[in-house]
Amino acid sequence: MAVLPPLIDTHAHICDESFDRDRARVLARAEAAGVAAIIAVGEDLADAEKNLALARRFPILRPAAGLYPTLLAPVAADEMVSFIRRHRDRFWAVGEVGLDFWAVKEQTERAVQRKIFARFIDLARELDLPLNVHSRSAGRHAVQMLIERGAVSVQLHAFDGKFSTARPAVEAGYYFSIPPSVVRSRQKQKLVSHLPLDRLLVETDSPVLGADRAVRNEPANLPLAIRAVAEIKQVSEEAVRAAVGQNAQDLYRLV
């Protein structure tokens, strides 16, 4: 029997305060479920610092740092860019970063958002780090910016667009990560049905995007996403796990 690649949760907010009381138990459950590594994303400088500290305590974590797209603060972006540069050897990704046109409606604010996103795309290229990208209600715009600025290593997390919007990203070699909420999202089910296995990753986006909206999500639920993808694509869970595991290793250079 072939040895399957390890399970990788490619996008989780383990620094979230909802995990402060039981984080060690949450991560122990993840390991028991077969999760070997978690890309621990952040939304601001406090998250970035916390992720670095947590990674010292919990070897399963692979820290990342970014500025959430609704934080329209060029000064905060300056600080984050400097922080990531200073700690380049300890970060596995720039993220999460991106665009959010669901929350940001004004064109002047969207222009600021684009400028900040552009800075992080350029930073990721400069430092040779993958981008972990948020693109809520802005998939087409995010993909266009990524391609135009020459982004190479990209994960589009919880992509909420149609496959026609995703196609240029597929052609550019970008990856799409699927959370457990796929079991209740017709949009994500349709997207998975069209995306090739070699462009798929799995994530939990813990503590949100679980199979049950009312229950805190955690990395131990990652197999739910694997199972759902297998059912949608009518292939075995082993085939999905092999594909997404290899894809995560390729993107994040995990050993």
> How many other CB atoms are there within 10 angstroms of residue 253's CB atom?
12
- For CA atoms 186, 187, 188, 190, give the dihedral sign: positive
Closest of 240, 118, 109, 250 to residue 182, by C-alpha: 240
Per-residue pLDDT reduced to its tens digit, 212-239: 999 999 999 999 999 999 999 999 999 9
CB 65 within 8 A of CB 40: no
Q: d(Cα 52, Cα 43) in Å, to the nearest integer?
A: 13
What is the reported pLDDT for 254? Answer: 86
pLDDT band per the 50, 70, 90 thresholds, residue 4: confident
Task: Please tell me what DSSP assigns to residue 206.
Answer: T
Per-residue pLDDT reduced to its tens digit, 33-58: 999 999 999 999 999 999 999 999 99
What is the reported pLDDT for 3? Answer: 79
- For residue 37, the surrounding DSSP H or E stretch is strand 35-40
Share of the chain above pLDDT 90, in %: 97
DSSP-assigned beta bridge partners for residue 39: 62
Domain ranges of the chain: 7-252
DSSP-assigned beta bridge partners for residue 43: none
| Integer angstrom CA distances of residue 192 from 126, 135, 159, 236 | 31, 17, 10, 15
Domain 7-252 fold is TIM Barrel (3.20.20)
Largest CA distance in the chain: 56
Q: Against a cut of 0.85, is the pTM above it? A: yes
pLDDT band per the 50, 70, 90 thresholds, residue 1: low
